[in-house]
Amino acid sequence: MKHPVIHFEIMGQDAPKLRSFYADVFGWNVAAPIPDYAMQYSLVDPVPGFARGIMGGIGKAPEGYDGHVTFYIYVDDIESVFAKVEEHGGSRMIGPDRVPNGPVIALFRDPEGHTIGVVDPGDDMRGAPMELMPFIFFYGRCEAALEFYKNALDGRYEIVMREGDAVKYATFTGSGVSFKASDGSARRAIDADEGNVTLALNVPDARRAQEVFDALAEGGKVVTPFGDAQWIGKFGNVHDRFGTEWFVTSAPQGGAS
């Protein structure tokens, strides 16, 4: 069995300071500490639209350096991130440096000396393939529908986000079949003729994503302008001229988030 990384953890001496640092620098949605827990442990919300597992690598540390265990965060501009890091009590460590035939990476230290990586794919992402996936709304019956498709299509699903008893975001995967699902923002009967499917399009390069969004919006209706989302990434919602609804996101697939 293969074991993808699905959770990261940063433990330090000043938990409130660390929570504020990462929320301020990267815009992470960091929850309040778990009540009555001596470790002052806070959960960081997953980013909608990202695969739960992340890629990794193993290598030899430079001579004279003990090495580290860390994670890499996707950013648009490493220098601007370094400025925020220093403003909030962190410090530069290594880079930015371009990986041969790859992205630009760098390392910094947070206020407690932890080593953290950042990665900027740059123009290499502009030609990266787009990913199109159906996003189906079930209006109160999402979990039941996922169970139905699990049995009918011999697949599996994961409920990523809930709000009360409502499913806000889920993913389904089967043999040659995948889609995203939600109960939506309202409860109503499913009307097969009305259209419960939205197309979710991820474009890794943000500038290309803006161009695609603008092209889809021509002659259509913009519901949510394309721009910074509540997570680290960009999002826009548009109905094209033929009435098809699109969720356009710009978020790296598979790499660090």
Residue 187 in contact with residue 140, Cβ under 8 Å?
A: yes
**What's the CATH number where 136 sits?**
3.10.180.10
Distance CA 22, CA 33 (A): 15
Q: DSSP assignment, residue 139?
A: T
193 has pLDDT over 60: no
For 246, the 3-state DSSP assignment is strand
Please tell me the predicted confidence (pLDDT) of residue 253.
45
Inside any domain, residue 21: no
Q: What is the pLDDT of residue 51?
A: 47
Phi–psi pair at 67, nearest 5 degrees: 90, -175
In a domain, residue 118? The reply is: no
114, part of any domain: no
In a domain, 241, yes or no: yes
Q: C-alpha angle 133/201/26, rounded to 5°?
A: 115
What is the domain range of residue 208? 131-250
Average pLDDT, the chain: 79
- Which one-letter amino acid corresponds to residue 98? R
What mean pLDDT is predicted for residues 75-90? Answer: 92
Assess if residue 184 is contained within a domain.
yes
Per-residue pLDDT reduced to its tens digit, 109-121: 999 999 988 888 7
User: What tens digit of pLDDT does each residue of 151-178 get?
Assistant: 877 888 999 888 888 898 898 888 777 8
Q: Which amino acid is at 236?
A: G
| The two three-digit tokens of residue 245, written as one number | 């609804």
Q: Is the pLDDT of residue 81 over 50?
A: yes
- The total of structural domains in the chain comes to 1
- Does any domain span residue 53? no
pLDDT tens, 6-22?
Answer: 467 787 888 888 888 88
Residue 122: CA count within 13 A, CB half-sphere: 14
Number of helical (H) and strand (E) elements in the chain, helices listed first: 4, 12
Tens-digit pLDDT profile for residues 140-151: 888 988 998 888
Q: Is residue 74 one of the residues assigned to a domain? A: no
Tell me if 54 is assigned to some domain.
no
